[in-house]
Amino acid sequence: MQRVAQQQQANRVGESGQVPLRKKRFYIRENEWFYQTRNGKEHGPYKSLTDAKQSLALFLRRSGVIRFTL
């Protein structure tokens, strides 16, 4: 997850300028975890925050936004 944290602090492919805040992407509702993508789409529910983070990492990797291995 260290590499994910580093990637969140850098511009993504096609971005320039100040890095946008990305901390509030995850949230819990009725004891289930969710995350939201830039286009506003909700993903979830997940049993834990770790599961939600792993799903987001896979989503970003598959979409080509960031490149890393889990």
Query: Over the stretch 10-66, which tens digit does the pLDDT of each residue have?
Result: 766 776 777 666 568 899 999 999 999 888 899 999 999 999 999 999 998 888 877
Q: pLDDT value at position 63?
A: 87
63 part of a folded domain: yes
Q: pLDDT value at position 17?
A: 74
Residue with tokens 């850098």: 10
32 part of a folded domain: yes
56 part of a folded domain: yes
18 part of a folded domain: no
62 part of a folded domain: yes
Residue with tokens 């990305």: 22
pLDDT greater than 60 at residue 3: no
Task: Label residues 33-69 b or e (16+ Cβ within 10 Å = b).
Answer: bbbeeeeeeebbebeeeeebbebbbeebeeeeebeee
Strand intervals (E) in the chain = 26-29, 32-36, 42-46
57 part of a folded domain: yes
Count the domains in the chain. Answer: 1
11 part of a folded domain: no
4 part of a folded domain: no
pLDDT greater than 50 at residue 1: no
Strand intervals (E) in 13-62 = 26-29, 32-36, 42-46
